[in-house]
Amino acid sequence: MGETAGPEEIGSAILAAALEAVGDARAGERLAARVAGNGFTPALEQGVDLAGRQAITTAFEGGWLPADVWQAARRRVGEFAVAYLVDLMAAHVERFALDTVDETWRAQLVDLDATVWWEQSSPHLGQWARSQLLIASEAVTAVVEALALLFQLPRMELIRPLPGRARPARPAHHRVDEKALGRVRGLLAKAESTSFPEEAEALSAKAQELMTKYAIDRVLLEADTVADLPGARRLWLDTPYVDAKALLVDAVARANRCRAVFSAEWGFVTLVGDDPDLDAAELLITSLLVQATRAMIATGDTRNSARTRPFRKSFLIAYATRIGERLTRATADTIAKTPDREHLLPVLASHERRVETALATLFPSTKASRVSVPDAEGWHAGRAAADRAQLNS
């Protein structure tokens, strides 16, 4: 590429290199050798800006939220590419009026510390590269790596409005009871920290009881109001044994009036349900994942066979299956004890239909999948661990 290449030509070359880099990791280095020999020229910096804007806009229009992009990036690209993507997302949202940016987007950007920290009167690339101690060729290579990831992202369901399209939220019929959730968080934190299974069982059982009672009070209170549409959020799972962990997520979601859809290729689960139910399910999922992993590792300390991958995967599958049974029973028992049960059951049925309709709208072509159990000893150990963490009230 000649020295007179303009920003548009360089931007197109960067996008082409990013597409090539999907199958050839050296594509970024080859491009950098052609366009970055003279350092951070105005044409190079403007070209990078044009390419970045186009790629991140496409990813967001394809249903990816800031947290999703970051989660995918930290799993698949290097730290410089991750840092560049965080800045790219901050710059994208900065162009929109704050009141037209969805609250979920704003919260995720805050969590990522994604802010426009650079001097906007000067191009971003050079300032960013200096903050990362990168020369021009290294910076361009990282940019190509980051954009190559964006090109690999599949289109997903748009679960939150794009920046510029959000409208002021209607006054909610309900608000998340932070006091109740605070009590649940406290109980689950103690359950995660104790080394005594019986104590963890009692604490987790109390947390589930509180969540179910809170949900019952809420749906009865709102029975005669116009219901909000169910919401959705994505929960990313860490390797290994992601498919087994997804079973646990599904079990907790169903017990808390939500539904879950697993994306095996990328390792996340989309939860669909009312926001308070999603909050409760996410709290319990996070805690039980910690407890399951700790129980699995502890079993490995007592028997050598428990350290193998087949054993551990089977352990987590059995744990998820048994927890699902316990949660279903605990929820049914709590509902059975409700004084206004005859009024409650039709309301819960109506709620379930709304969630199922939302699920079918977002995921019209989902299909069930099976997870095999490769180790019988691991299966029995996992069920035993789930029995110790039983959640009936």
Q: Which of 314, 266, 273 is nearest to 292 (CA)?
A: 314
The residues, any chain, with a CB within 8 Å of residue 79's CB and separated by 6 or more, are none
- Per-residue pLDDT averaged across 175-195, rounded? 81
For residue 390, what pLDDT is reported?
42
Q: What is the pLDDT of residue 301?
A: 60
Task: Report DSSP letters for 274-289, one per residue.
Answer: -HHHHHHHHHHHHHHH
pLDDT tens per residue, range 60-87: 999 999 999 999 999 999 999 999 999 9
Assigned token pair, 141: 């290579």
Query: What is the band of 369 on the pLDDT scale with cuts at 50, 70, 90?
Result: low
pLDDT band at residue 343 under the 50/70/90 scheme: confident
Stretch 83-95: mean pLDDT: 98
Instruction: Look up residue 188 and give its two tokens.
Output: 């689950």
Provide the token pair at 106: 């704003």
pLDDT tens-place string over residues 139-150? 999 999 999 999
Name the residue ranges covered by the structural domains of the chain: 7-152, 178-388
Answer whether 74's CB lies under 8 Å from 82's CB.
Answer: yes
HSE toward the beta carbon, residue 305, CA cutoff 13 A = 10
Q: Determine the pLDDT at residue 393.
A: 34
Per-residue confidence at 392, pLDDT binned at 50, 70, 90?
very low
Mean pLDDT of 223-249: 87
How far is residue 47 from each of residues 14, 24, 142, 274, 386, measured CA to CA in Å? Answer: 8, 22, 15, 43, 55
What is the rounded distance in angstroms from the CA atom of residue 22 to the CA atom of residue 290? 35
pLDDT (0 to 100) of residue 197: 61
The predicted-structure confidence for 292-331, as pLDDT tens digits, reads as follows 888 888 776 666 666 788 888 888 988 888 888 888 888 8
pLDDT score recorded for residue 380: 64
